[in-house]
Amino acid sequence: MTMPIATLTLELRIEHAQSLKDRRQVVRSLKEKLKVGFNISVAELDEAVTWQSATLGICAISRSHDYLAGLMQQVENAAVRISNDLGAEISDCYWQIVDE
Task: Break the chain into its structural domains and give their ranges.
Answer: 4-99
Closest CA to 29 of 96, 95, 94, 81: 81
Mean pLDDT of 21-25: 89
Q: Residue 93 in contact with residue 8, Cβ under 8 Å?
A: yes
Kindly report the CATH number that applies to the domain delimited by 4-99: 3.30.70.1120
Q: Residue 11 in contact with residue 50, Cβ under 8 Å?
A: no
Q: Residue 31 in contact with residue 42, Cβ under 8 Å?
A: yes
- The DSSP H or E segment spanning 35 is helix 20-37
Please tell me whether the overall predicted TM-score, pTM, comes out greater than 0.85 for this model: yes
pLDDT tens-digit series, residues 66-92: 999 999 999 999 999 999 999 999 999
- The DSSP H or E segment spanning 6 is strand 4-13
Say if residue 96's pLDDT is above 90.
yes
